[in-house]
Structure 1
């Protein structure tokens, strides 16, 4: 039997079995199973010391005497204020990164004297970086902690910008874009997993990803203005490099206490049916929600970045707009995305992720059709801005759903995997668009985006979040219950 160590009033309580202090719960949550590596279960003072559950062992640091879960806030502990600021600035830079390539596409094409298909390698290269980070995120957190992970991720982005800003030969530029993708995939996992453990997660995630939109809104305006003035297109990356160095230093300072030991304490490994510790990535990939929501993000990022990257080209070639001013249309899209994330995040948490995300996706298709079919520049600009408003909140909503469906120990791995696969979509689909546009014209962007959003809806309606079942199952359940009541009425 486990015995309780005598403790002072404010000391943690440790469970022992016999003379060995290595106990964890087994998979069925009913027995204590020994683990080979030395570990202890710390329980806050006053916590019931009878039968323990997974929640007890996984969230002990956030519970008090009444057993209720108390998540950290953005300003408590005080270090979180600096961490949130560092993350918010980092998302601004991420937005700048993703919007810049598309805005400068015509200038890059002219500089290297290559066609759409070849230049679109600049979109495809980051996919390899994103995909690589999906399989490394968990091990990086275990080896380096959250501190080392965010420093490494930002350093990779800075190295990439330091290379691109000199406009090196195209193969080197493509490799640099891949390095930037690896850095962003690493940071996506670390920052989203941190935010997932805070109170008011819908609002905080909406702000984070909204500031991504701020960066993406500013970037096309500034980068195209610089290029149109006669400056070399790559000089814009000097600005991004300077911002990246500042954010690197700020993240290092803010997350300095997030060591590997603290990460392992906060995120202990799971235990399989045989009592052995499981690999986090293996465990996350066995969870169907990880795969399903990774597919949603793959299509989402493909549509979001593909649309944002090709707006200028579409408006110039299909609507015959002025290249110098069409950057404003792209900025309108990203501005709509920013507003939607910041404002609608407050709506999503109060009504429900399932319902609101479905509504957002349906409205996105409606306004995407306006952008596609409206013949004038003004109507197209308004349509694509409204696409941004309703499409923007989908990404943070999917992230929140994933954190609700996965245990805390799998947040970094599951979120990192899904976000990295999503980043792959951000690279793959703009490349596909470029290859198709080379053969058929830039109009192919529109049916591709509609198809991607439709695929997201088909997957999303099967996903539960707070509710026990997905939206589709609930609709069928209501129909069946109504039919049953009608049958009962007729029989009476």
Structure 2
């Protein structure tokens, strides 16, 4: 059943006509508004994700949980994210981008309210799952939208940088500002309730004209080929797809494990005050934001494969120093440096995958690899929680070094993957180029 009435359809066509023939200045302002609104939603995703590490200690104390049980919060997030990502396309088809702009912030709002009320721990997990469900709707939706812009690299970089800024600010606000005001831990989620209301208003205003009809017309322009059956399965025939999926599983899981457990490690092992311990997590995400904004030039000069290899070696060296240094200032500084060199690693995996596979397989292959990353974000922090529950949190730095080295071992085979001609030159005679890629 169509969601647009004849009146809405005429209004949409009128709006499209104005966009085509009207004000270039107005069109630019509309794009800027949407970029700003999307960046704010990425900041919100950073708030929700990075503050989990700060909440480990207060949640454990409030609900009398073991390290193993409190680690369930690392499972709830990726489960919600994957479900949301799978539903994103259907929401677009039925409601357009406007549907994402309404539903995702509403899920953020519901999730924040559920946790702020500090009911039983089961309901807290449900709230965190709902918030992650909203992130799963937002992340791929705005990334695809950003990639469709004429200045796609700039827009995409702004979105990813905004996430890192939110991820850096979250631990500082939740772990430093609130305790300084003598506020309980759950007041942070009341703050997120207010921020989610603002997110809903800004996204709805910015994407108010992006309904289902407009989305379907843009997705399937006149004359476009619809013969895509079987395409998603073809990417599974490439070894590069599986290597990149395994790489992102390890990398994203390591990233989540570092930020998720470093606050507890600093408090329990190095006797650092909670406000100072939260700065370690903020430093990690702040360094990551700086790395994503600045290291692109280095990566372009050296090549993604070689540059990423250097980033790994630097990260391992810094982790070894972190394990041997015990002062709080040095630990926070080292966390920031570790985040800085690890910042470009996620994009490196995506870039390498798109260079190897034919262009027609980029979207399904990247979606598959990113989903594997979310699985890693659930499994590795949870696994560390189970590990330190039995052997003690003092082994946290050693486990992180092992995880980074393992991720490096997965990256090395990716260096040996040869690009297909169709991947190098875009669309072309892809059937003739299939043998140029390494397959399982």
- Where does residue 20 of structure 2 map in the other structure? none
Change (3 A) 1:464 1:375: closer
Q: Is structure 2 residue 188 aligned with structure 1 residue 236? A: yes
Q: Is structure 2 residue 191 aligned with structure 1 residue 248? A: no
The answer on whether the counterparts of 1:267 and 1:408 sit within 8 Å (CA) in structure 2 is: no
The answer on whether the counterparts of 1:99 and 1:219 sit within 8 Å (CA) in structure 2 is: yes
Change (3 A) 1:463 1:261: farther
- Where does residue 403 of structure 2 map in the other structure? 452
Following the alignment from structure 2 to structure 1, what is the Cα–Cα distance between the partners of residues 235 and 266?
A: 42
- Where does residue 370 of structure 1 map in the other structure? 321
**SS class of match (2:274):** coil
Change (3 A) 1:409 1:76: farther
- Where does residue 360 of structure 1 map in the other structure? 311
Alpha carbon RMSD of aligned pairs, Å?
A: 3.4
Change (3 A) 1:146 1:209: same
Following the alignment from structure 1 to structure 2, what is the Cα–Cα distance between the partners of residues 83 and 162?
A: 26
Following the alignment from structure 1 to structure 2, what is the Cα–Cα distance between the partners of residues 466 and 299?
A: 19
TM-score of the superposition, structure 2-length normalised?
Answer: 0.79
Write the deviation string for residues 217-269 of structure 1: whole angstroms up to 9, x where unpaired: 22212212314644221111111122122222222233344444444454459
Q: Is structure 2 residue 124 aligned with structure 1 residue 173? A: yes
Aligned length: 395
Change (3 A) 1:464 1:208: farther
The farther-off stretch of 229-238 and 139-148 is 139-148
Q: Is structure 2 residue 36 aligned with structure 1 residue 97? A: no
The answer on whether the counterparts of 1:189 and 1:412 sit within 8 Å (CA) in structure 2 is: no
Change (3 A) 1:189 1:418: farther
Q: Is structure 2 residue 282 aligned with structure 1 residue 331? A: yes
The answer on whether the counterparts of 2:100 and 2:137 sit within 8 Å (CA) in structure 1 is: yes
Please list every run of 5 or more consecutive structure 2 residues that lacks an aligned counterpart in the other structure: 1-25, 421-440
Larger Rg, first or second structure (1 or 2): 1
1:303 to 249, 254, 263: 254
- Where does residue 19 of structure 1 map in the other structure? none
Following the alignment from structure 2 to structure 1, what is the Cα–Cα distance between the partners of residues 146 and 192?
A: 24
TM-score of the superposition, structure 1-length normalised?
Answer: 0.71
The answer on whether the counterparts of 2:356 and 2:418 sit within 8 Å (CA) in structure 1 is: no
The answer on whether the counterparts of 1:123 and 1:427 sit within 8 Å (CA) in structure 2 is: yes
What is the Cα deviation at residue 185 of structure 1? 1.9
What is the Cα deviation at residue 424 of structure 1? 2.9
What are the residue-to-residue correspondences of 1:159-198 with 2, within 5 Å?
159-198=110-149
Q: Is structure 2 residue 135 aligned with structure 1 residue 135? A: no
What is the Cα deviation at residue 319 of structure 1? 1.9
**SS class of match (2:402):** helix
- Where does residue 213 of structure 1 map in the other structure? 164
**SS class of match (1:324):** helix
Following the alignment from structure 2 to structure 1, what is the Cα–Cα distance between the partners of residues 356 and 39?
A: 25
The answer on whether the counterparts of 1:100 and 1:219 sit within 8 Å (CA) in structure 2 is: yes
Write the deviation string for residues 323-348 of structure 1: whole angstroms up to 9, x where unpaired: 23222222222221111111113433
Write the deviation string for residues 92-132 of structure 1: whole angstroms up to 9, x where unpaired: 11111111111121111111111111111111111211232
What are the residue-to-residue correspondences of 1:40-119 with 2, within 5 Å?
78-119=29-70
The farther-off stretch of 321-330 and 233-242 is 321-330
The answer on whether the counterparts of 2:355 and 2:419 sit within 8 Å (CA) in structure 1 is: no
Following the alignment from structure 1 to structure 2, what is the Cα–Cα distance between the partners of residues 406 and 116?
A: 41
Change (3 A) 1:138 1:233: same
What are the residue-to-residue correspondences of 1:388-407 with 2, within 5 Å?
388-401=339-352
**SS class of match (2:276):** coil
**SS class of match (1:309):** helix
What is the Cα deviation at residue 413 of structure 1? 4.9
The answer on whether the counterparts of 1:203 and 1:345 sit within 8 Å (CA) in structure 2 is: no
Write the deviation string for residues 283-305 of structure 1: whole angstroms up to 9, x where unpaired: 56566554433332222221112
The answer on whether the counterparts of 1:123 and 1:430 sit within 8 Å (CA) in structure 2 is: yes
